[in-house]
Amino acid sequence: MKTALQIDVAQLFGEPLGNENTALHPRIRMSNATCQQYSNPKGQACLQQFDGLLGFINIMDVHIPTDIVIPLRVRHSDIHIFYVITDDFAIQIKDIRQQVSYTISFNRGRYIYFPTGDYQLQIPAGRYTIVNFYFRGSIFRDGNERPFQFLHSLILAYRQKDPNICCSIDFRVGPRTILLMKTIMANIKKGDLDSEVNILWGIKKLIKLSKEKIFEEYDKISESHLKSKEAYAFIKRAVAEYGQDFKLSDIAAQLNISKDYLHLLIHSYYGLSPQELKINLMLDLAKRYIADGMHTDAVAYELGYSAPSSFTRFFKKRAGMTASDFFNFNNQ
């Protein structure tokens, strides 16, 4: 695959060191890749590259005392994956033509569609490993991109030769991702036909793992939010039908979740326990009945109390006034 992304490390660090010199030990090693070491007062860098027919791999380690900017040049449009492994800060990729920047936070990854043009890699002081895979968007065809919704806009941009950069949602980079990258790097070798198969296998595995990461971080949150709304609706309907005469454990059973998870859902999204939510809904319903002129005894029975006196104590405690005072206050 032709070199589409040129990382101009030499502009900042000068000419690479000789093979016998080692400036920086890479976190992820490609034993069969081209490796160039750099060192000067601005810091240290190590750039490993592997050129495959189906994909290109860059791994750049930098250790720098001050912020730096490394020029990037994209010669033809492709889809890229960038991973930033560090304990320090986020990096930024700046589109010089459009004067816009895209952030990749520490220990996170992002897919980027790069049209032809000049860019900058802006890196704060610290120790970073930046892993970059890029591949032809044509690996997505015949609808095989459907499961990867987070890539749809990038694939469309690639197919239409869009002149504008396009970026996916970001996702966590953890031990599974790093282990997979190390496995890919260990199975590639120049001149070995299996290396091409392994690169394509690796890119596919990384895309699938990215999908899992995005689901875990974003879609599961959405699912739990929907479940919390469903739980809220079940409790509200039970209050309307039974007043206080129902068990929250029965609500959990109807939702096919545990009582503890019901508590977690309601507390996470509404800031209340399920019991507190039940009480608040009961009080709102009681106030509405009383404001409409319903007699206190009737309200008590509507809310599932066997004795009106129990409801009277509940209302005064929660509303801070008697039912009569509440009626008079709202009908002045």
Q: Is 132 helix (H, G, I), strand (E, B) or coil?
A: strand
pLDDT band for 20, please (50, 70, 90 cuts).
Answer: low
Same domain, 71 and 132: yes
pLDDT band for 52, please (50, 70, 90 cuts).
Answer: confident
Helical (H) or strand (E) element with 226: helix 220-242
Kindly state the tokens that stand for 9: 């490390």
Same domain, 146 and 257: no
Helical (H) or strand (E) element with 269: helix 259-270
Nearest C-alpha neighbor of 134 from the set 93, 174, 99: 93
Q: How far apart are CA 210 and CA 171, in angstroms?
A: 7
14-117-147 Cα angle (round to 5): 115
pLDDT computed for residue 222 by the predictor: 77
Number of domains composing the chain: 2
Q: How many CA atoms lie within 13 A of 248 on its CB side?
A: 16
Same domain, 151 and 275: no
User: Is residue 234 in a domain?
Assistant: yes
Q: How far apart are CA 153 and CA 165, in angstroms?
A: 11
User: Is residue 207 in a domain?
Assistant: no
Per-residue pLDDT for 1 more than 60?
A: no
> What average pLDDT does this structure show over 43-66?
90
pLDDT computed for residue 153 by the predictor: 94
pLDDT computed for residue 191 by the predictor: 67
Same domain, 17 and 126: yes
Domain that holds residue 296: 222-330
| DSSP code of residue 320 | S
- Condensed to tens digits (0 to 9), the pLDDT of residues 152-209 reads 999 999 999 999 999 999 999 999 999 999 988 888 777 676 777 788 888 899 999 9
Q: What is the CATH number of the domain that holds 132?
A: 2.60.120.10
| Whether the Cβ atoms of residue 83 and residue 177 lie closer than 8 Å to each other | yes
Q: What is the CATH number of the domain that holds 240?
A: 1.10.10.60
Per-residue pLDDT for 130 more than 60?
A: yes
Amino acid at 167: C
User: Is residue 301 in a domain?
Assistant: yes
Q: Is 328 helix (H, G, I), strand (E, B) or coil?
A: helix
- Within 8 A by CB and 6+ apart from 15, the residues are none
> What average pLDDT does this structure show over 283-308?
92
pLDDT band for 327, please (50, 70, 90 cuts).
Answer: confident
Same domain, 302 and 170: no
> What average pLDDT does this structure show over 27-56?
87
> What average pLDDT does this structure show over 254-265?
92
Q: Of 190, 212, 238, which residue constitutes the final position of a domain?
A: 190
Q: Of 150, 172, 190, which residue constitutes the final position of a domain?
A: 190
Kindly state the tokens that stand for 239: 């209050």
Helical (H) or strand (E) element with 36: strand 34-40
Same domain, 20 and 138: yes
